[in-house]
């Protein structure tokens, strides 16, 4: 029997990973077992194992796999809401343009109506809201009002509600944190720490130029001490200036997160995301290599929770801007999809105060190219997965970049022991 072309394999020093992108099942096979895999009894057992977990080639397997992925995406409604037009930080890699305005109650009302319309017209099971900015906690009153309304609407429609927030953490004191979790069902946080204090403050200064590190770390320590159930993604934006500082952070202040599985570390190279309101010389130096991969490996070796491979190595991997039921709203109620290409006209589909261009919105999303269907990574990549890279930057193929990303994450997947099963030879006296 022939293995499916959608089985990804990664050879490492002590064995080989098999990842089935049709169903996200995986196993690791040791070198000892690999050497004996052609022995009759072992081969028979192995083939039975592969058959049970659907590793062999099937008829129409591409179409059936894509159908299951789309069915999953169709069940979830997602909103990303930029609740305030300003930020209390002026980061040296920020791509946003700021305006000191709050969301009006009329815009809040229209967004709520938009949510109700989407829930009525589709068979939605999950409704997730991501609070964004600017700095979203500058618009905490809007978060409170809309959270109460969204929860009530979800109960009325028998839909499961959840929420997350991307915040710089400066305003996230213990009182606000407890309110968000207990009252407004915000159980997922993303907070950026760019290394030790000096380098963090260099990249992520307050609007008035002051440092932000000490206050953020104070709030994070309170979160560590909290008994509440939540998750916090600690994001590190890597520039040439702070690579070594992040390494020192892992051996210093970062240790408080090591034994708390609620805290997850994610490393990203700073990219050329745009200048926003920044002067052109107010910037960091882009890293000369993929430091995110090296720092991820380092953090894993030191015992940190680094689950990036779990996010990438799955057929559910898809940019939020390429999902059929994801909508982004800015502070004025303009309907968009991507929160990076904020100022592209191609990324504007109407307003909650007027018309919503459904046809343009549907055409924004990428479909899978015919020539991609035989590619081993297509069920993960889905022909590029990033609309702005195609629609805005006119980059019609990101193949090599995506394949490298997936290959590196397969290695992290092994290091993290994310696989479902560990297959080895039976050893006498060992259970």
Helices 174-182, 213-225: crossing angle, 10 deg rounding: 50
CA 179 to chain centre: 24
- Amino acid 106: pLDDT: 99
What pLDDT sits at residue 24? Answer: 97
Predicted local confidence at residue 122, as pLDDT: 84
* Residue 231: strand pairing partners: 188
Task: State pLDDT tens for residues 360-372.
Answer: 999 988 888 888 8
Burial tier of 167 (Cβ tally within 10 Å: 0-12, 13-18, 19+): buried
Give the C-alpha separation, 24 to 33, whole Å. Answer: 22
DSSP letter, residue 390: H
Angle between helices 174-182 and 140-157 (to 10 degrees): 10
What dihedral do alpha carbons 58, 60, 62, 66 form, nearest 10°? -120
pLDDT of residue 395: 52
Could you state, in order of their start, the residue ranges of all structural domains in the chain? 7-60, 66-312
Considering only CA atoms, which of 319, 347, 323 is closest in space to residue 334? 347
Give 147-156 pLDDT, tens digit per residue: 999 999 999 9
How far is CA 396 from each of CA 278, 346, 383, 411, rounded to the nearest angstrom?
Answer: 29, 16, 9, 27
**Residues of the chain falling short of pLDDT 70:** 384-385, 388-398, 427-431
pLDDT value of position 140: 99
pLDDT computed for residue 414 by the predictor: 97
**Per-residue pLDDT, 392:** 53
pLDDT at position 430 is 45
Q: Answer yes or no: are the C-beta atoms of 2 and 56 closer than 8 Å.
A: yes
Superfamily of domain 66-312 in the CATH hierarchy: Aldolase class I (3.20.20.70)
Helix (H) / strand (E) element for 129: namely: strand 126-132
Nearest to 219, CA basis, from 254, 176, 264: 176
């Amino acid at each position: 029997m022939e293995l499916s072309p959608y089985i990804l394999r990664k050879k490492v020093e002590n064995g080989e990973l098999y990842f089935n992108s049709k169903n996200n099942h995986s196993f690791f096979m040791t070198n000892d077992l690999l050497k004996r895999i052609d022995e009759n009894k072992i081969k028979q057992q192995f083939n039975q194992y592969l058959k049970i977990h659907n590793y062999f080639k099937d008829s129409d397997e591409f179409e059936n796999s894509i159908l299951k992925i789309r069915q999953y995406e169709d069940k979830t409604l997602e909103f990303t809401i930029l609740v305030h037009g300003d930020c209390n930080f002026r980061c040296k890699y920020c791509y946003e343009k700021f305006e000191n305005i709050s969301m009006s109650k009329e815009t809040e009302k229209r967004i709520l109506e938009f949510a109700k319309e989407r829930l009525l017209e589709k068979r939605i099971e999950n409704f997730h809201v991501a609070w964004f900015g600017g700095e979203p906690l500058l618009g905490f009153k809007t978060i409170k009002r809309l959270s109460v309304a969204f929860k009530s609407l979800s109960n009325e429609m028998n839909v499961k509600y959840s929420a997350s927030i991307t915040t710089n953490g400066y305003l996230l004191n213990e009182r606000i944190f407890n309110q968000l979790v207990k009252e407004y069902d915000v159980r997922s946080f993303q907070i950026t720490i760019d290394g030790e204090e000096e380098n963090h403050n260099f990249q992520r200064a307050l609007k008035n130029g002051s440092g932000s590190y000490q206050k953020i770390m104070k709030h994070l320590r309170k979160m560590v001490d909290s008994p509440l159930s939540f998750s916090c993604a600690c994001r590190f934006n890597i520039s040439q200036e702070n690579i070594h500082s992040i390494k020192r952070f892992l051996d210093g202040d970062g240790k408080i997160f090591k034994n708390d599985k609620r805290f997850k570390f994610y490393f990203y190279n700073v990219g050329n995301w745009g200048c926003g309101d920044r002067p052109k010389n107010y910037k960091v130096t882009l890293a000369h290599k993929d430091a995110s991969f090296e720092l991820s490996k380092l953090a894993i070796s030191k015992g940190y929770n680094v689950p990036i491979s779990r996010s990438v190595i799955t057929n559910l991997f898809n940019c939020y801007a390429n999902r059929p039921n994801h909508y982004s709203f800015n502070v004025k109620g303009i309907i968009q999809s991507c929160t990076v290409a904020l100022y592209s006209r191609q990324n504007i589909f109407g307003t909650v105060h007027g018309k919503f261009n459904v046809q343009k919105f549907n055409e924004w999303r990428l479909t899978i190219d015919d020539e991609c269907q035989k590619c081993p990574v297509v069920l993960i990549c889905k022909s590029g997965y990033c609309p702005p890279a195609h629609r805005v930057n006119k980059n019609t193929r990101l193949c090599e970049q995506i394949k490298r990303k997936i290959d590196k994450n397969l290695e992290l997947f092994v290091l993290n022991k994310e696989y479902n099963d560990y297959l080895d030879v039976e050893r006498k006296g060992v259970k």
